[in-house]
Amino acid sequence: MQAAILKAFGSPLEMGQLDKPEPGPGEVLIRVKACGVCHSDLHLADGDWELLKKITKMPLVLGHEVAGVIEAVGPDVTGWEPGDRAGVPWLHWTCGQCEYCTSGRETLCGEQAITGVTVDGGFAEFVKAKASHTARIPDSLTLEEVAPLFCAGLTVYKAIKASGIQPGELLAVCGVGGLGHLAIQIAKARGIRVAALDIADDKLELAKECGADLAIHAVTGNPRKALRSAGGAHVVMVCSGSKAACELALGCVRKGGTLVAVGMPPEPIPVSAVTLVAGELRIIASAVGTREDMRELLDLAAKGGIKCRFEAKPLAEANAVLQRMKSGEITGRVVLTP
Q: What percent of the chain has pLDDT over 90?
A: 88
Closest CA to 63 of 85, 95, 30: 30
- Name the residue with higher pLDDT: 320 or 332: 320
Amino acid at 327: S
Q: pLDDT tens across 171-200, in order?
A: 999 999 999 999 999 999 999 999 999 999
For the chain, the average pLDDT equals 95
β-pair partners for 60: 6
CA–CA distance, 35 with 67 (Å, rounded to integer): 6
For residue 250, pLDDT beyond 90: no
CA pair distance 48, 100, nearest whole angstrom: 27
Distance (Å, whole) CA 154 – CA 289: 6
Query: Which pLDDT value is given to residue 242?
Result: 85
Other CB atoms closer than 10 Å to residue 311's CB: what's the count?
Answer: 12
Q: What is the pLDDT of residue 269?
A: 84
Taking residue 273's Cβ as centre, other Cβ atoms within 10 Å add up to 7
| Domain ranges across the chain | 2-151+289-337, 153-285
Which percentage of the chain shows pLDDT scores above 70?
Answer: 100
User: Which one has a higher pLDDT value, 159 or 304?
Assistant: 159
- Give the domain 2-151+289-337 fold: Quinone Oxidoreductase; Chain A, domain 1 (3.90.180)
Q: Residues of 175-186 as b/e, b for ≥16 C-beta within 10 angstroms?
A: bbbbbbbbbbbb
**In the prediction, which pLDDT does 315 show?**
98
pLDDT digits (tens, 9 = 90+) for 15-52: 999 999 999 999 999 999 999 999 999 999 999 988 89
Least confident of 34-38, 189-193, 257-261, 270-274: 270-274
Say yes or no to pLDDT of 265 above 90. no
Q: Dump pLDDT digits (tens) for 85-99.
A: 999 999 999 999 999
CA gap 75, 78 in Å, rounded: 9
Same fold, 2-151+289-337 and 153-285: no
Q: Which fold has domain 153-285?
A: Rossmann fold (3.40.50)
- What mean pLDDT is predicted for residues 191-210? 96
User: What pLDDT band is residue 271 in, cutting at 50, 70 and 90?
Assistant: confident
When pLDDT is averaged across residues 309-319 and rounded to a whole number, the result is 97
Which DSSP string corresponds to 31-81?
EEEEEE--HHHHHHHHT--HHHHTT--SSEE----EEEEEEEE-TT--S--
